[in-house]
Chain A
């Protein structure tokens, strides 16, 4: 059962990501991106990382895609059809991508992945333990990246405001 769901979701993922990068209309590209992100969240749910899935949906699907749509509106792109790129660029990038994916997939299929120990030793993924781990210092504690991320977000906020504000007349 789960395998079938997995294949369906991965199909959705691939199809919509292809559509995102090849469509002519920009708003549709944003919507396709949204669907891609939702499919990713579905992956996380299937792998029993619910918190991560929730964060993905909230931040990515609810925040970034909305931000992108706002920027489309702000730069008056919403009515325009995207110009077609020239043939040469498309073909050369397609070639590179094909080559790259072949190399990587070939390498991966050759490599013997040793699976982990099984469900008995699985870590606790409840939100309780996530919160505790996020704020603990010591072994397996992530307090330092947490604080750094908060400063990064502060900096990003200030930067975004300053770069995008209008010049005083």
Chain B
């Protein structure tokens, strides 16, 4: 059936952005908010319809989900072989992402109607939200890698605009710049990878790349260090994805990006932008598994390293949004790891687990961030030390936050358990080390999330006079997401989204599930003991860990290392000489041309002196010369 209506899913938010952006001054705040929300609601309904139609009606041919190009148009045509298209690709992961992005974006829009009320740049905020949604939707439905790259950069731009939304705060401006620059730097690797890839394979198009994966891998020439050029291109592309997904060591922008408003953090840094890297690897997964195994190993190592690194740091942070940021980094590490340990066809459990976890993580992480926003809205502070005993004042926030914490800790029957279980199964099948690392991370996750939970909603009452439950526009998304976080675990992902479109045969491995549930419960109990009531356990643990605790509290000094390298090495040794050259040589040449011209024109302008006799002299001389020439030289 014709899926060409899916182009509207992408274009409707663009339209909302243009209207809000161009007419923002002239329409009332509430009108712009409702317009953006309504537009996104239409997009959401269209994506649900697409999902229903694709997964249950027409998507399957012979039991395999097809990749359908719903819409493709040539945008720039260089030659027959080299052309850049724009289009919409419908296949299981893109439809899933459409559902995730539009749902979370719609809920964030509704939430922002309440959260950003009264703010001066209300219309601007909604315009930027629509721009971001448009860019992200364009990214996931891309038919070719170049279109994905273009929308990738658009997503980076929208996130810059949204993080730096409070543009009068210097810390917010710095955070926006940091996010943009770090991801842009990673995108250099992405671009080089794209160029290698398309040069070796001769095409940008995803369907062509994925179907001919093994043929391309065998035909690719050998490159650096014995790996084929195709492998290197995929590694470089992964670097781009790692930057956008805040993987180690390109993670430094994610904690600072919490300077943006909380709905922005929920949308961008929980559900959508940070999973773009995971989506990229998933999109090119047949190629990844066809080339040398080192490519997927690198993905797995980076994922595992990021998840444990972030989990350790998250245990020490006292700003609620920073804890959630590191938790995001850790969970994305899970998704990357799952992709890294996966194979195709029957060994595709990791792929399916990664996509499943992406889906469930979007739900509960968005719920966590929106709940955090609700709490911050009530106590007007981000710090854990200013919060306590809020369960009396904010019941809805309390219950939904608790559900989300259970989900992230992997307690059944909430969603996180099912997706995490698949990942752990895949990890164990590939290499037990990965399993044990992720098992530790699961325990730490439960610990720090419940540390947060108990610290906010139990512990000592800080006597909040103004704390009250948030308005309905803010609690409605919380409730919807809580229901989602409880129920989506039961969606049969193994039938819908797999590495090759066929149904994957799985069942619950109790020898993996029991230890993971156990370590989760241990984490919860430790947090209960430490944090439910104020006591001396936390400070004793700090003393035991001593130096290690201080390092973790300072995020292992990565920010300082980067600042040192940029300021002392790059600025001093590279940028300053280049700037000097530019100013004194290049500019001086241009100025020199102008100065010389000026000098000569000053000298020449004396000819028009206004002196009558000079003019006469000149004309008579000219006449005589002409007479001479015509009479005697030419005859």
Question: Chain A interface (Cβ within 8 Å of chain B)?
Answer: 89, 92-93, 96, 99-100, 103, 107
Contact = CB atoms under 8 A, between A and B. Distances in A.
B631 interface: yes
A100 B631 contact: no
A92 B620 contact: no
B628 interface: yes
A92 B624 contact: no
Contacts of B627: 103
A96 B621 contact: yes
A99 to B, nearest CB: 6
A96 B613 contact: no
A92 B617 contact: yes
Contact of B631 (A89, A93, A107): A107
A89 B613 CA distance: 9
B617 A100 contact: no
B342 to A, nearest CB: 95
A93 B617 CA distance: 7
Interface in B612-635: 613, 617, 620-621, 624, 627-628, 631
A92 B614 CA distance: 10
Contacts of A92: 617
Contacts of A100: 620, 624
Contacts, number: 16
A96 B628 contact: no
Interface string B428-454: 000000000000000000000000000
A92 B613 CA distance: 11
Nearest to A110: B631
16 contacts: A89-B613, A92-B617, A93-B613, A93-B617, A96-B617, A96-B620, A96-B621, A96-B624, A99-B624, A100-B620, A100-B624, A103-B624, A103-B627, A103-B628, A103-B631, A107-B631
A96 B623 CA distance: 11
Contacts of B621: 96
Contacts of A99: 624
- Which 9 A-B pairs have CB atoms at the shortest separation, nearest pair first? A100-B624, A96-B621, A96-B620, A103-B628, A99-B624, A103-B624, A103-B627, A96-B617, A107-B631
A103 B620 CA distance: 13
Contacts of B624: 96, 99-100, 103
Which DSSP category, helix, strand, loop or mixed, fits chain A's interface?
A: helix
Interface residues of B, number: 8
Nearest to A107: B631
A108 to B, nearest CB: 12
Nearest to B620: A96
Interface string B598-618: 000000000000000100010
A96 B631 CA distance: 18
Nearest to A92: B617
A107 B628 CA distance: 10
Given A93-B613, A96-B617, A99-B624, 5 more contacts: A89-B613, A93-B617, A96-B620, A96-B621, A100-B620
Contacts of B613: 89, 93
A89 B628 CA distance: 23
A15 to B, nearest CB: 24
A93 B614 CA distance: 10
A130 B620 CA distance: 37
Contacts of A107: 631
Contacts of B620: 96, 100
A8 B624 CA distance: 31
B374 to A, nearest CB: 88
A96 B613 CA distance: 13
A96 B624 CA distance: 9
B7 to A, nearest CB: 81
B44 to A, nearest CB: 86
A112 to B, nearest CB: 16
Contacts of B617: 92-93, 96
Contacts of B628: 103
Contacts of A89: 613
Contacts of A96: 617, 620-621, 624
A99 B621 CA distance: 9
A96 B628 CA distance: 13
Residue with the greatest number of chain A CB neighbours at <10 A, chosen from B613, B617, B624, B628:
B624
A70 to B, nearest CB: 23
A99 B631 CA distance: 15
Contacts of A93: 613, 617
Nearest to A89: B613
B346 to A, nearest CB: 103
B611 to A, nearest CB: 10
B621 to A, nearest CB: 6
A110 to B, nearest CB: 10
A100 B631 CA distance: 13
Nearest to B628: A103
